[in-house]
Amino acid sequence: MSEPSNAQLAESLLAFWADAGVDAMLLDAPVDRIAAGRIAPPQPPPGRKPATPAPPRLVGAPVPDVAAAVAQAQALAAAAGDLDALAEAIAGFEACPLRYEGATRAVFSRGDRAAPLMLVGEGPGAEEDQRGEPFVGRAGQLLDRMLDAAGLTGRVFITNTVFWRPPGNRTPTLHEQMICAPFVERAIALVKPQMLLLVGGASAKSMLKKDEGILSLRGRWFEWRSNDGKMELPAMPTLHPAFLLRQPVAKKRAWSDLLTVAERLDRPDRPA
């Protein structure tokens, strides 16, 4: 077996820190930001107004009105009487900007529609976008093997926090997750699971409204609450299988999380 290249090692390390919640890094040399702030910026020539830079925008992607988009999603989700109607509502929903950023279709769910466990991932990838189901690529295949080994096959309903593939398989933004959240909550109401398994940092932070990284959140029980406060469920964050493919040594922790969830499903009266 050949040794990994420096580029592969660097990519793996960066992915590890990103999944751990690190969003900034230090420079090699210190910078006195206070002193730098005392330096006046250059002034434009007399009679010329300073240029105002335009905000960055992806070509073809509409700038979302998040409040309006959430309200529209809430209305469509509430009108869906079953999971088929909910899937149709999601497929026809046009207010999520991810729809216009290269995704070919909406990717909603797979699994048992009356499952005691609902798994909520982050967002679909390239394979999922092609096939129209969540967690069907390499990460999904690993997830299925782990679920089977934990005795959870056929007991799980699988979905994501967003339903269109983010460009470049990037992490979905908070606004994108907020826009799709009413559909996720409606799916929970229709499936009526006993508990949630939140897969990956973006899913855990969005669903639980937490700021910690996944390595801090995983393996602990939390209470998920719907935005209207009418639903509450125990929720377990765990590591994303894509992370496990990059960091196989972490599989032991994810396996421990699955066993904890399976035990609570089988022995619901036992204290967590």
Concatenating the DSSP letter of every residue in 114-131 gives T-SEEEEES---HHHHHH
Hunting for tokens 């900034």 — which residue is that?
24
Portion of the chain with pLDDT greater than 90, in percent:
74
pLDDT band at residue 24, thresholds of 50, 70 and 90? low
Q: What's the average model confidence in pLDDT over 96-120?
A: 97
Model pLDDT for residues 68-87, shown as the tens digit of each residue: 999 999 999 999 999 999 99
The overall average pLDDT reported for the chain is 87
Q: Which residue has the tokens 């939390």?
A: 222
Query: Interhelix angle for 251-266 vs 138-149, to 10°?
Result: 50
d(CA 262, CA 110): 19
| DSSP label of 234 | E
Class of residue 32 by CB neighbours under 10 A (exposed 0-12, middle 13-18, buried 19+): exposed
Q: Are 66 and 180 in contact (CB under 8 A)?
A: no
Length of the chain in terms of residues written: 272
Residue 261 has pLDDT above 70, yes or no: yes
Contact (Cβ atoms closer than 8 angstroms) between residue 253 and residue 218: yes
Is the model's pLDDT at 19 over the cut of 60? no
Partners of residue 160 on adjacent β-strands: 121
Task: Report the predicted TM-score, pTM, of the whole model to 2 decimal places.
Answer: 0.77
Does residue 188 contact residue 152 with C-beta atoms inside 8 Å?
no
Please state, in angstroms and rounded to a whole number, the distance separating the CA atoms of residues 244 and 112. 25
- Sheet with 117-121, edge to edge strand ranges: 110-111, 156-160, 117-121, 195-199, 232-238, 222-225
pLDDT single digits (tens) 202-260: 999 999 999 999 999 999 999 999 999 999 999 999 999 999 999 999 999 999 999 99
In this prediction, residue 267 carries a pLDDT of: 83
Q: How far apart are CA 257 and CA 202, in angstroms?
A: 17
In degrees, to the nearest 5, what angle opens at C-alpha 165 toward C-alphas 7 and 230?
120
Three-state helix/strand/coil letters over 59-118: CCCCCCCHHHHHHHHHHHHHHCCCHHHHHHHHHHCCCCHHHHCCCCCCCCCEECCCCCEE
Tens digits of residue pLDDT in 159-196: 999 999 999 999 999 999 999 999 999 999 999 999 99
Sign of CA dihedral 56, 66, 21, 249: negative
Give the CATH number of domain 66-266; options: 3.20.20.80, 2.10.109.10, 3.40.50.10490, 3.40.470.10. 3.40.470.10
